[in-house]
Amino acid sequence: MEVSGPKAPLLSIVVLVYNTAEYLPACFDALLTQNYDNIEIIAIDDASTDDSLAICRAYEAKDARFRCLAKPTNEGGAMAGNLGIDLARGEYVALVDSDDMVTPNGYARLMQEAISASADIVIGRAARLTDGVVSAAAFLYEPFVWSQRRVLKSVCDFPDLMHDGFYWNKVFRRDYLREHDLEMVPGLLYADRPFVHKAYFLSRKTVVITDLVYLWRTRAAGAVTSITQNKSACANFVDRMRSVTIEWQDFSDVAGAQEYRRQIALSNVQRALHVIQGIVASPSFRRVFVEGMQALLKRYGDMDYRALGVRRQLYLRLLTLGEIDGLCYLLGLPAQGQTVELDGDCYWLQPFLDNTELRIERSLLRIEFPVIGFFQLCGQALKDGYLQLDLALPDAVMKHCEVDFEMLSLYGEGSMAFSALGRTATNIYSFSMPIPLEVTQTGAGATLHGLILNYRSGNVHGRYRVGWNLLSPEVQASLPLALGGGWQLLHSLEAGGLAMQQVAG
């Protein structure tokens, strides 16, 4: 549906509004004060019961770029988003949740890339915003998607793109969405991932930039939580399983999409397992979770889950076998797992190892690469202008894999690589990197680099940001550590873990 009127803007910003009166002024003010003003803002109020609609009307009255549509009944964010895209007049369209904020240069940077590259999609970096603090700690693999600028002709050129399944840190070419009838599934709460993943696959030019463009707000304790912050609710998990099923079906007969489909499925299983601890204390959630996961695993069939690590592989096997009491027992074990060496290999030591009654094959529990709970950054030192890091990882694991570290730039591209020093003690491996001598500080946060552990074992490869729980108590107590050259080693919420930053002099 086209709307007649003044000359169409280049960017239409669709804001999905529902009972967010507390946060709306900050959201709208951030949009209206962007360093990019060739915009229209379309606020879709989804039958809010608080003062949200009144706030929308007030902004509509004072700024000609702002218009509001009030829906008579609440039908969910997917319907509101689709309606906003239909109403959009811009060459590009963006979607915003009304409790979040766009950074001052966010749309200027996204649109600069969109216009210069004639891109179907442009993606920027996002961060969590909690009580005014910017953090990447809650993200999983998304920061690796945003770590360097990329121009992609196909999602197959960079399959990790699928880890960013959000709609709100992007601009989409409007005609591209309409050409492919791309919209969110009506009534689906977790509607962003099916929509975004399909858009990636169909796009013939997707650009990724490293600029921080979007701040995803974490609601204050005690506030009415958003959908994504209430992950353990039964209804939400049922909806998540519906979303996962839709994605599996969307690509069932699509030529050239089967590996992409498999990778999305693995990612969806991993994300579903993030809320597995909820089954211990809540019998009602346990029933919903077990039923949903068993149906999902049956739907996926004989999929290779090795990349998920031994913990998750055993959880999935116990779910398949219906051994839920045993699963709850495992979930109660300490996070730092015990291991045992058998016949030269390392295994997770718990009651299901070599259990003759359940007959879970031993190989399922063999640890062949770093898995959270079975490794730790146990030491750091400054030696002759070099930063040395010590990794505690069983020798029997290390023989199966390759491991390296790098300091990855959070602002802009580039990384600083560590050199492997080899095994320096039993189950200890050391890595070293020279401290940069030059002063390169050019702005707040400009030299923030997060520590990344990369690993490869056969055709399984992955990476971790080295967060607080992966640091030994000794390393935790040593931070922050002055390194020289204005640099310090610290734990950074913004980087999502251990980081190096050059401190302004």
- pLDDT tens for 393-411 read 999 999 999 999 999 988 7
Per-residue pLDDT at 440: 55
* CA–CA distance, 65 with 119 (Å, rounded to integer): 24
Per-residue pLDDT at 7: 76
66, 60 contact by CB (below 8 A): yes
Choice between 184 and 438, residue whose per-residue pLDDT is larger: 184
pLDDT-above-90 percentage for the chain: 85
pLDDT bucket at 138, cuts 50 / 70 / 90:
confident
Q: Would you state the structure tokens that stand for residue 194, as one six-digit string?
A: 């099916």
* CA–CA distance, 404 with 354 (Å, rounded to integer): 32
496, 408 contact by CB (below 8 A): no
**In the predicted structure, residue 351 carries a pLDDT above the cut 70:** yes
CATH class of 11-221: alpha beta
pTM: 0.91
Place of tokens 């904020």: 101
Q: Where exactly are the structural domains of the chain?
A: 11-221, 229-338, 376-502
Per-residue pLDDT at 225: 44
**In the predicted structure, residue 289 carries a pLDDT above the cut 60:** yes
Task: Give the pairing of strands 386-392 and 481-484.
Answer: unpaired
Q: What is the CA radius of gyration of the chain?
A: 24
Q: List pLDDT tens digits, range 49-101.
A: 999 999 999 999 999 999 999 999 999 999 999 999 999 999 999 999 999 99
pLDDT-above-70 percentage for the chain: 94
Task: Give the pairing of strands 402-409 and 487-492.
Answer: unpaired
Instruction: Supply the DSSP symbol for 471.
Output: B
What does pLDDT average to over the chain? 92
Place of tokens 């994605």: 247
Q: Which fold has domain 376-502?
A: Immunoglobulin-like (2.60.40)
Segment 275-289 shows an average pLDDT of 95
The dihedral built from the CA positions of residue 244, 245, 247 and 252, taken in this order, carries a sign that is positive
